[in-house]
């Protein structure tokens, strides 16, 4: 009987041991190489798997790709999109688009955790969407969608016991996604309390991290969506052979005119007709953003996490603040004053800590064909971005000098009324 049982279960047990051994191995075997074509595809794929993973990102960033952190604007591919321009004019950098609809500062902070080596002393681009800074900050379901155990486990193996990481742990504990692994959850509680991890927790996290890293290496390259890459190639064909700002500006105007038709917001007709038109006719959107404010939000503290991470890694970052289509803004009643105040508040947070590379486009909401839809850059908007991104990335920049301040994690800062900004500056100097 024993012999027969061994014949039945022997292979099964052996297979289980082998699988566990391969996954838990601390050294990486095989599958290291990511082809140039795959990197190209991943850089514009906007795939959540790429965002959550590590290997592909890491390899691409080593090969001259630059991280472009942001959210939904990346999916607006037209000929002036940064990825298209960089490819067509053979720039010495290629954008690696990180983020998609719903990804905000907290997600980006954890995305940075397993590409630290590739961010250190390098450059990056970061688009700050004013829409992130709503009353409740990042949506729990959106955060959960992009949540990566791999990134959390990696962060937990190198966190520091300071205000920054304590805040991050506390914030993560508020998210249902953190409960997807009981051990990680318990470890986060210790970090939030300012304690060190236990030996067992360290061992578990190390093993878990190895397993997830192997999994990521084996599987994250499978089935990368290729639709966006073909879009980029398609859009690149419309561009003139040689770069000329005036030619591109004209082309942007022409393409914008062709795409927008005569809808009331002068935005892409395709976007307008997808649902917006119906609601406009019903009048349900008129004035609906009257009471919306982007000036008090936990997002300010989440954003500080990203800044601190950049400072720790000495990353030189170009920040972009996109405008809001001004016709749309007026129609929905979104307050002009509030938007200006948001701009002041975010500027203060950036500049007071030494982040001075800011492309503030917030006053360009009424430039024709600047926005492809209500809140997303397009045509001339992308071109304006390129005017700053290209020199920033192509030429060498002086070293940044950051002076970080933990006060930006405080509830006071998160909820600070914009009118009190000057006073706050004075008091906290």
Partner 1 sequence: MLSFEPYGNPTYFALLGVALLPLMIGLLYGKRSRLYETLISVFFLLLTFGGPKWTQGVALIIYILYEVALTWGYAVYRRQKNSGPIFYLMVILAIIPLTIVKVTPAVDHGQASLIGFLGVSYLTFRAVQTMMETRDGTLKNYSLMTFLQFMLFFPTISSGPIDRYRRFEKDYRSVPSREKYLGMIQKGVRYIFVGFLYKFILAYYFGTMLMPKLAIMAMHSRGGFLDLSWPVLGYMYAYSADLFFDFAGYSLFAVGTSYIMGIETPMNFNQPWKSPNIKDFWNRWHITLSFWFRDFIYMRLVFWFMKHRVFKKPTTTANVTYIINMLIMGFWHGVTWYYITYGLFHGVALVVNDAWLRYKKKHRASIPHNGFTQAFAIFLTANMVCFSFLIFSGFLDKIWFTK
Measured CA to CA, the distance from residue 359 to residue 383 in angstroms comes to 12
Q: How far is the CB of 185 from partner 1 (least distance, A)?
A: 15
> Can you say how many angstroms the Cα of residue 45 is from the centroid of all Cα atoms in its chain?
13
| 227/340 with CB nearer partner 1 | 227
Site for partner 1 in 185-244 (CB under 8 A): 223
Helix ranges restricted to H, 89-157:
105-113, 116-119, 140-146, 149-156
Paired tokens of 232: 């980029």
To partner 1, the closest distance from the beta carbon of 223 in angstroms equals: 5
Stretch that binds partner 1, among 8-16, 91-99, 128-136, 357-365 (CB under 8 A): 8-16
Query: How many residues sit close enough to partner 1 to count as binding (CB under 8 A)?
Result: 8
Q: Does residue 21 touch partner 1 according to CB under 8 A?
A: no
Distance (Å) of CA 409 to CA 143, 272, 297, 401: 19, 39, 11, 20
Q: Can you state the angle between helices 199-219 and 182-192, rounded to 10 degrees?
A: 120
- Separation CA 293–CA 295 (nearest Å): 6
Ramachandran region, residue 137 (left: φ > 0; alpha: ψ -120 to 50; beta: rest) = left
1 binds partner 1 (CB under 8 A): yes
Please count the CA atoms within 13 angstroms of the CA of 195 that sit on its side-chain side: 11
- Segment near partner 1 (CB under 8 A), from 5-13, 160-168, 188-196, 405-413? 5-13
Least Cβ distance, residue 374 to partner 1 (angstroms):
22
What is the C-alpha to C-alpha distance for residues 115 and 122, in angstroms, rounded to an integer? 11
Q: Is 296 helix (H, G, I), strand (E, B) or coil?
A: coil
Provide the minimum distance between the beta carbon of 245 and partner 1 in the complex, in angstroms, as a whole number.
35
Between residues 61 and 150, which has the closer beta carbon with respect to partner 1? 150
Quick one: which segment of 7-15, 193-201, 243-251, 341-349 binds partner 1 (CB under 8 A)?
7-15
Give CA–CA dist 395/62, Å, rounded: 18
Cβ nearer to partner 1, comparing 8 with 282: 8
4 binds partner 1 (CB under 8 A): yes
For partner 1, give the closer residue by CB, 13 or 247. 13
CB closer to partner 1, 272 vs 413: 272
Shortest distance (Å) from residue 4 CB to partner 1: 5
Burial class from Cβ neighbours inside 10 Å (0-12, 13-18, 19+) for residue 46 reads: buried
Binding-site ranges for partner 1 (CB under 8 A) = 1, 4-5, 7-9, 12, 223
């Amino acid at each position: 009987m024993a012999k027969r049982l061994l014949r039945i279960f022997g292979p099964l047990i052996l297979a289980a041991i082998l699988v566990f051994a391969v996954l838990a191995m601390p050294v990486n075997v095989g599958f290291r190489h990511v082809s140039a074509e795959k990197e190209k595809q991943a850089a514009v794929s906007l795939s959540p798997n790429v965002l959550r993973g590590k290997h592909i990102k890491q390899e691409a960033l080593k090969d001259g790709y630059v991280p472009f952190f942001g959210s939904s604007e990346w999916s607006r591919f037209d000929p002036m999109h940064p990825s298209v321009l960089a490819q067509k004019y053979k720039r010495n950098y290629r954008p690696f688009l990180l983020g998609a609809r719903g990804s905000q500062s907290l997600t980006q902070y954890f995305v940075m955790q397993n590409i630290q080596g590739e961010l250190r002393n390098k450059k990056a681009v970061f688009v700050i969407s004013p829409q992130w800074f709503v009353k409740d900050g990042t949506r729990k379901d959106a955060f959960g969608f992009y949540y990566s155990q791999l990134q959390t486990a990696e962060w937990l193996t190198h966190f520091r016991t300071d205000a920054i990481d304590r805040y991050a742990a506390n914030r993560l504990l508020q998210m249902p996604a953190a409960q997807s692994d009981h051990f990680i959850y318990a470890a986060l509680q210790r970090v939030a309390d300012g304690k060190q991890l236990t030996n067992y927790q360290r061992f578990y996290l190390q093993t878990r991290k190895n397993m997830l890293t192997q999994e990521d290496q084996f599987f994250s390259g499978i089935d990368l969506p290729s639709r966006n890459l073909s879009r980029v190639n398609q859009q690149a064909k419309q561009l003139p052979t040689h770069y000329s700002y005036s030619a591109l500006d004209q082309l942007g105007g022409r393409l914008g005119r062709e795409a927008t038709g005569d809808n009331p917001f002068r935005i892409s007709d395709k976007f307008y007709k997808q649902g917006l038109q119906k609601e406009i006719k019903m009048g349900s959107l008129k004035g609906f953003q009257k009471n919306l404010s982007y000036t008090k939000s936990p997002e300010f503290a989440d954003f500080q996490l990203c800044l601190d991470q950049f400072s720790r890694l000495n990353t030189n970052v170009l920040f972009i603040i996109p405008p809001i289509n001004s016709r749309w803004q007026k129609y929905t009643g979104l307050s002009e004053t509030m938007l200006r105040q948001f701009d002041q508040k975010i500027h203060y947070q950036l500049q007071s800590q030494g982040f001075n590379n800011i492309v503030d486009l917030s006053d360009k909401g009424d430039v024709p064909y600047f926005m492809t839809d209500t809140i997303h850059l397009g045509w001339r908007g992308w071109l304006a971005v390129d005017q700053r991104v290209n020199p920033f990335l192509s030429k060498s920049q002086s070293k940044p000098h950051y002076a970080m301040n933990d006060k930006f994690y405080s509830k006071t800062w998160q909820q600070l009324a914009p009118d009190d900004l000057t006073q706050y500056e004075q008091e906290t100097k």
